[in-house]
Chains A and B, each alone.
Chain A
């Protein structure tokens, strides 16, 4: 039987996905959740665990929520609009 997956492990995988997509595609929380369930398998990773992982990502400051017509999760960056 596979080891029990932790929120930190899922958060690490989510972080990698967000980092890889940065500048190319904005990812929504649901994109991350679907990808994680597919990657780790539905028997090990569920919606609740993904929510905890996203919470961990945001509260650790590794990722931030952004809004560009919809809400996304991205790496912290200085937004263009703030520069005027």
Chain B
């Protein structure tokens, strides 16, 4: 059964109640956009038939770019001709999503003029997502966006638009300037961002501290998470104030420390920083009393991804501590080595985390010239990639072979 009557009884159920509703927004857009009206119809049809009616991918894009536009087509264009083409555009957002109201109005004007008027602020990539336009409108949109100071983001097998947390712009715990690094990476990897040349996508996400507000540990091929090398800064007077106001320091702070490296004797807090796991729990609970250490930088982690071709992965430690200061040469050198080996040996649609799993972390570390470190071991007897070659003596292998024969 097709739904071209304009009635949407199933979607209407998602429009009830005081909460924000995507149906409510599409209906508002449909008042002046035929594209949004047909979108409602097709969505209602999908709800009736319990099947999606979109095809995606293909050839669309703006001249010279290989990313930034995701072709999307209806597989029922005869019923809903206004969404026969319903392409998505990804627009590179500013670092940490800071906008002026003027910039937001400009973006909305461009999209109302050339697209459906619907957008996501923001997609899971972090980009501004313009939802629904036709192939002929792509170049005019791109021209107006660049005139307004915006560029397209990444899509396909390229460097995806780097994203970051608010960092030092609004957060006292930032261990490095996430906004600057995000901008620097975006500019440095322009070619890789717009011209897909990798086996699959590659994402950078910059988090200023281990709270990881951009969830980089779960979503970025390279997670750059702020940390510190020395000890947590303690203001014992402020700790006492928390205690005086009723906080149970022993139970709520020391008791919840995953490393059990904190002690509180009623007047003094002591931390064995050699055991500290940088989880931020104690700092989050007593922000006035505890602060990250003074020797700050970032931990470089590698390999997380959501489940698409293979299952989900979390990032694991690659470099326990790296100073994060412009021009970030050490980081860029590392990235270049990683890209080289992954491009050379990676399979089509193989993320770098999957690639490392396939070739083994030991071989990967050798290729990128990084020494194995105990910090890379997630659990005891895990990551068995360190081979103690010095324990083998010459002839050991030959003897084994002889025995096999």
Residue ranges of A at the interface with B (Cβ–Cβ < 8 Å): 28-30, 33, 51, 54-55, 58-59, 61, 64-71, 74, 76-79, 81-82, 84
Contact = CB atoms under 8 A, between A and B. Distances in A.
Interface string B183-218: 000000001000111111000000000000000000
B59 A84 contact: no
24 contacts: A29-B195, A51-B197, A64-B59, A65-B195, A66-B57, A66-B58, A67-B70, A67-B155, A67-B156, A70-B200, A70-B348, A71-B66, A71-B157, A71-B158, A74-B59, A78-B59, A79-B58, A79-B60, A81-B73, A82-B71, A82-B73, A82-B85, A82-B135, A84-B78
Nearest to A34: B344
Given A30-B197, A51-B191, A51-B197, A70 B64 contact: no
Interface residues of B, number: 36
B349 A68 contact: no
A61 B108 CA distance: 31
B61 interface: yes
A81 B197 contact: no
A84 B74 contact: yes
A76 B71 CA distance: 15
Nearest to B72: A81
A29 B197 contact: yes
B61 A64 contact: yes
A53 B348 CA distance: 22
Q: Pick from B74, B155, B195 the residue with the most CB of A within 10 Å.
A: B195
A67 B71 CA distance: 9
Interface in B23-76: 55, 57-61, 63-67, 70-71, 73-75
Nearest to A31: B348
A59 B64 contact: yes
A43 B162 CA distance: 34
A68 B63 CA distance: 18
Nearest to B58: A79
Interface string B337-351: 000000110001100
Nearest to B54: A81
A4 to B, nearest CB: 22
A28 B157 contact: yes
Contacts of B96: none
Interface string B167-191: 0000000000000000000000001
Contact of A70 (B61, B71, B349): B349
Contacts of A61: 63
Contact of A69 (B57, B191, B344): B57
Given A54-B195, A79-B60, A84-B78, 8 more contacts: A29-B197, A51-B195, A65-B66, A69-B349, A70-B157, A71-B158, A81-B57, A84-B74
